[in-house]
Amino acid sequence: MTDLAIVVGVDGSDQALDAVRWAAAEAAHRAVPLRLVSALDPAIAVAVAGPPAVAEAVEAVERVAEADLEKAARLARETADVAARTEYLPAPAVPALVEQSKHARLLALGASGRGGYAGMLVGSTAVAVVAHSECPVVVVRPAAEPAGPVVVGVDGSETSLGALAAAFDQAAWRRAPLVAVHAWLDADYLLAAQYGLVAGKPEEEDQARLLTESLAGWQEKYPDVPVERVVARDQPRRRLLQWSHKAQLVVVGSRGRGGFTGLVLGSTSQALIQHAPCPVMVVRG
């Protein structure tokens, strides 16, 4: 896996340049290749210019993409003294980036591109790529606390175990503490709370045990990473969003154990990529 590149989706937006900065630091530390990809569908030129001027319009689209890539490559060098390979893909962004994910260590994307609507929290490209990527995806926003902890959501599912592996790895190279958050709030509890009946201590002990079992082995593998355990009867997305305001990175699985079969993204990962004010890494399995 060491030769797999970190791939960044570039579209000329400030948000995409945030992703370039984040990925350049990651690639430089890990000594892995960095690839900057701009995907623009030539059909845009046909729609805008009409048939008589298609060739000229296609060339204009290519020039825009090449200029965006050149600017991003220069920023990568300035950020972490890392050389980046650039590539223009004449294809729609989502399928092009999903295809890239098949051969990438991870994908980094800005929260929204220059094609997004004013006030949009996260762009449609980012949502679609996170949902279908075959590698981890980081949706990048500048962290309010760049020296904060790495926070990971844990629920015992296969994807959350993958998130744990990625989170420990991130915390280790960043020399940051790790906060492992296990929050649960199910329908039975909500119903009981309406009648003033809440589960007692045994349930809380079971939930704490689940977190302990999930962490088993990881602290031995990463002895230099301090770990804080958080067990809370709360909605996972609510508790993780709270932590995201003081984290440098939040890591979650794409879908937890509470998700419906066939659901591509769970409510927690959806909420975090939409609302977290720091970079969010979504991991599959």
**pLDDT tens sequence across 54-108:** 677 778 888 889 999 999 999 999 999 898 999 999 888 999 999 999 999 999 9
d(CA 226, CA 175): 9
Torsion angle in degrees (nearest 10) through CA of 188, 194, 198, 199: -10
Q: Where are the beta strands (DSSP E) in 190-248?
A: 227-233
pLDDT band at 50 (very low <50, low <70, confident <90, very high): low
CA 134/CA 99 separation, integer angstroms: 8
For 261-285, what is the mean pLDDT? 81
Phi, psi values for residue 218, rounded to 5°: -70, -40
pLDDT at position 256 over 80: no
Question: 271-275: which pairs have CB atoms within 8 A and are 24 or more residues apart?
Answer: 271/237, 271/241, 272/237, 272/240, 272/241, 272/244, 273/111, 273/122, 273/126, 273/127, 273/130, 273/139, 274/121, 274/122, 275/121, 275/241, 275/244
pLDDT at 278: 97
Residue 146 has pLDDT above 80, yes or no: yes
Count of Cβ atoms closer than 10 Å to residue 117 Cβ: 8
Q: With a cut of 50, say whether residue 263 has pLDDT above it.
A: no
21 membership: H or E segment, kind and range: helix 14-30
Q: What domains are defined for the chain? A: 5-140 (3.40.50.620), 150-283 (3.40.50.12370)
| Measured distance between the N- and C-terminal CA atoms of the chain, rounded to whole angstroms | 16
What torsion do the CA atoms of 14, 19, 21, 27 make, to the nearest 10 degrees? -160
Q: Which whole number is the average pLDDT over 149-170?
A: 94
Q: What pLDDT is attached to residue 156?
A: 87
Looking at residue 249, its pLDDT comes to 98
